[in-house]
Amino acid sequence: MSKVLCVLYDDPVDGYPKSYPRDDLPKIERYPGGQTLPTPKAIDFKPGMLLGSVSGELGLRKYVEALGHTLIVTSDKDGPNSVFERELPDAEVVISQPFWPAYLTAERIAKAKKLKLAVTAGIGSDHVDLQAAIDRKVTVAEVTYSNSISVSEHVVMMILSLVRNYIPSYQWVVKGGWNIADCVERSYDVEGMHVGTVAAGRIGLAVLRRLKPFDMHLHYYERHRLPEAVEKELNLAWHPNVEDMVKVCDVVTINAPLHPETEGLFNDKLLSNMKRGAYLVNTARGKICDRDAIVRALESGQLAGYAGDVWFPQPAPKDHPWRTMPHHGMTPHISGTSLSAQARYAAGTREILECWFERRPIREEYLIVDGGKLAGAGAHSYTAGDATGGSEAAAKFKNAR
């Protein structure tokens, strides 16, 4: 029998919910483009429940234990004395979410002698050292597309929040003020602005589609150029490199996976090539941006605002400078873990486990690493290598709580 080790974020501070604001979720059968939603044989949860926290257990316990396997669920993932570190050596399957990632470094993979499958409940598997997984022939899978639309909605919200100066305006209301001039001194319309996405995969393209009704000029950089029909439909301007695109954009949104080629992409040099007063939104991965370069650009006015849903490491240490830098709209990596998204990626995780334990092939689009090489979505979106370096700093947050 196998041990399944599942790392999830903590329950709400007031305890696991006894009720929810809404009674159900809209029914969606297919994603844009035709891919079907997860198709497990069964689920043991009601869609709309909080599944991504420890008590939610991704709805997996009944299924895993009915097969005779052991399920360990914890939020304690960082440092040598964590539950994750102690339970890892004899775990066959590790499940983690991008929002509270269990960093599977090369060192941890080396200790996990029985590890055969690493599952990302959601999308984005950069918290796994993919090169080490390739070398060890560990299968890596994620629930592709499960929360892509969720993230794209969050991107649009962040763009509007920055450009319209929403957060400071809301704070004046909370403080009891009616300070209209203070609210609007940094507020603009998005109409007529040029917005560009770094990568136009599922999330990036969904962002562009949602911004088209705002009468913005749409740009994109993508190494896999979109079909001509899509470019014509959305009136898209394609750029051969990121540097060319950011020069003309008032707003840039990052929707690329993290791998060695994108790590540190937005550094001092690239930021200096952007329009003065541009806005940058990053819901991809924190390490795509140079942490301190972002702070400098905001302080100098080169950037008018930065909104990010992703940090490095995660959770971010208490003294992370993005918590206190000016003109930011940071959130703690929530864009892809709405209750709607959780229902999809929990079902997708169940589907992957069913395939694994029944020795059936995992969907091609869910695969990142298989048989000692990049596969499926991984072959399309990633390059071999490691982006987990420095993740041990996450223990600083744990120690400060």
Q: Annotated catalytic residue: which of 147, 282, 302, 342?
A: 147
Neighbours of 301 (CB within 10 A): 11
Which residues are registered as beta bridge partners of 118?
94, 140
Determine whether 239 is an active site residue: no
Catalytic residue among 127, 194, 285, 350, which? Answer: 285
314: annotated active-site residue: yes
Distances (CA, A) of 9 to 35, 98, 247, 318, 370: 28, 10, 39, 17, 27
Distance set, CA 215 to CA 243, 274, 307, 318 (Å): 24, 21, 21, 39
Answer whether 307's CB lies under 8 Å from 278's CB.
no
At 357, list the tokens: 């334990």
> Prior bond to 260 cis, omega within 30?
no
- Among the listed residues 333, 344, 350, 363, the single catalytic one is 333
Rounded distance, CA 343 to CA 337, Å? 9
Q: Where are the beta strands (DSSP E) in 121-216?
A: 139-142, 194-198
* Contacts of 44 by beta carbon, 8 Å cutoff, 6+ apart: 59, 60, 61, 62, 63
- The DSSP 8-state label assigned to residue 364 in this structure reads G
Residue 269 makes CB contacts below 8 A (sequence gap 6+) with none
Distance, C-alpha 143 to centroid of its chain: 12
The Cα 271–Cα 280 span in angstroms is 10
* 51 vs 348: CA distance, rounded Å: 13
Instruction: Confirm whether 147 is a catalytic residue.
Output: yes
Tokens (6 digits) for 101: 């990632």
Q: What are phi and psi of 305, to 5 degrees?
A: -170, 155
- Rounded CA-CA distance 122/202 in Å is 13
DSSP codes of every residue in 281-311: EE-S-GGGB-HHHHHHHHHHTSEEEEEES--
Taking the C-alpha atoms of residue 398 and residue 401, their distance in angstroms, rounded to an integer, is 6
**Active-site residue, from 97, 314, 320, 350:** 314
Catalytic residues: 147, 285, 314, 333
